[in-house]
């Protein structure tokens, strides 16, 4: 194990109650081989750093002196017409990014005093992340711990594996939130350090899966079996997205597959689609594509829950 090995993360979130059992601290790694149309963390997809801009935090060039404009050598920032400031009653001329000119040098993020302009990611080493998470240990108690999420943590395998080993060897239980899209031997290597795999199943038909996520699903389905056969515990996560994967045939095939994994499946979480990540696309200058998709209704989700429970699965709507 190397404590000095570095990786790229984009956030560490304490007091997380949605990323595994108990109270957890979640480490979000950067980079993912999938491009899910509904992804609610677009800043996690690309490994290279990107420029993220939160307009509401911009205090206006009058107050900061246009520091970001001076820092940008490519003229990728321009001043908008003045509007009411978010920090005072005064009018403020905020900036806008011309993404066609931005080369992600990120010099503007170093100059921005209000952190309206920020890089989507940072480099960190195993020891530094452990020191940060150790501060939260008091909250973990019996079931809590750390969750390594993403992006896809397995796309930075050596970093994630060393991180998991560090936590495990110091008595902090580890969950790994993964798409399943990585070599089987890597899952076998990291398995001894992982208390619970949070494992996504997005569509059972491989061709349809590739259209929705950019990759086929054979490796994902196979690795679920590899983890189960290797003695790993799985919390299966199934996004339920109208028009994309919420047809009854696919849901029934998904339920049957989960049941076939046997006692390794500790829980199935049914995740109704939501668009709460849409604003993140705007910060990155991306286009959110699922504008014509609505969340599934409560009655439909209740029927989906009944379907999974009918297979003897410990399912819940999350």
Give residue limits of the domains in the chain: 6-48+121-317, 51-119
Q: Under DSSP, is residue 258 helix (H, G, I), strand (E, B) or coil?
A: helix
Q: Under DSSP, is residue 7 helix (H, G, I), strand (E, B) or coil?
A: strand
Supply the DSSP symbol for 78: E
Scan for tokens 């990759």, then name that residue: 215
Query: Which tokens sit at 267?
Result: 């829980």
CA distances to 54, 192, 266 from 228, in Å? 42, 13, 11
Name every residue whose Cβ is closer than 8 Å to that of residue 119 and which is 6 or more positions away in sequence: 49, 50, 51, 52, 106, 109
Question: What crossing angle do the helices spanning 248-260 and 298-309 adopt, rounded to 10°?
Answer: 30
pLDDT tens digits for range 130-161: 999 999 999 998 899 999 999 999 999 999 99
Give the full edge-to-edge strand order of the sheet including 315-317.
122-125, 6-16, 24-29, 145-149, 174-178, 196-200, 234-240, 265-272, 315-317
Supply the DSSP symbol for 228: H
pLDDT tens digits for range 67-113: 999 999 999 999 998 876 665 667 789 999 999 999 999 999 999 99
User: Would you give the distance in Å from CA 174 to the centre of its chain?
Assistant: 16
What does the pLDDT read at residue 3?
Answer: 67
Q: Distance between CA atoms of 10 and 255, rounded to whole angstroms?
A: 33
What does the pLDDT read at residue 83?
Answer: 79
Identify the CATH assignment for 51-119 out of 3.30.70.3270, 3.90.950.20, 3.30.2000.20, 3.20.20.110: 3.30.70.3270
What does the pLDDT read at residue 68?
Answer: 96
Which residues of the chain carry a pLDDT beneath 70? Answer: 1-3, 84-89
Q: What are phi and psi of 83, to 5 degrees?
A: -135, 175
CATH of domain 6-48+121-317: 3.20.20.70
Query: Which tokens sit at 170?
Result: 């110091």
Q: Distance between CA atoms of 144 and 211, rounded to whole angstroms?
A: 36
């Amino acid at each position: 194990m190397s404590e000095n090995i570095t990786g790229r993360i984009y956030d560490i979130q304490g007091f997380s109650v949605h990323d595994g059992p108990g109270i957890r601290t979640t480490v979000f790694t950067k980079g993912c081989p999938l491009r899910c149309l509904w992804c609610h963390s677009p800043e996690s997809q690309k490994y290279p750093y990107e420029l993220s801009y939160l307009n509401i935090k911009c205090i206006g060039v009058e107050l900061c002196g246009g520091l970001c404009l001076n820092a940008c050598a490519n003229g990728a920032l321009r001043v908008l017409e003045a509007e009411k400031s978010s920090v005072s009653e005064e009018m403020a001329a905020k900036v806008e990014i011309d993404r066609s000119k931005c080369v992600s040098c990120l010099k503007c993020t170093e100059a921005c005093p209000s952190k309206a302009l920020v890089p989507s990611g940072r480099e960190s080493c195993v020891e530094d992340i452990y020191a940060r998470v150790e501060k939260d240990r008091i909250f973990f108690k019996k079931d809590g711990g750390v969750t390594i999420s993403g992006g896809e943590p397995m796309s930075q395998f050596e970093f994630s594996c060393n991180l998991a080993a560090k936590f495990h060897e110091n008595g902090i239980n580890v969950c790994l939130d993964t798409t399943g899209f990585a070599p089987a031997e890597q899952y076998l290597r990291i398995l001894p350090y992982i208390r619970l795999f949070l494992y996504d199943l997005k569509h059972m038909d491989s061709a349809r899966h590739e259209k929705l996520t950019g990759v086929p699903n054979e490796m994902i389905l196979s690795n679920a079996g590899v983890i189960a056969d290797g003695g790993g515990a799985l919390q299966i996560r199934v996004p339920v997205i109208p028009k994309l994967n919420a047809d009854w045939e696919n849901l029934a095939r998904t339920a049957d597959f989960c049941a076939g994994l046997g006692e390794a499946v500790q829980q199935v979480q049914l995740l109704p689609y939501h668009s709460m990540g849409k604003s993140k696309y705007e910060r990155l200058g991306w286009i959110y594509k699922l504008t014509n998709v609505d969340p599934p209704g409560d009655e439909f989700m209740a029927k989906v829950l009944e379907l999974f429970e009918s297979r003897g699965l410990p399912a819940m709507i999350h």
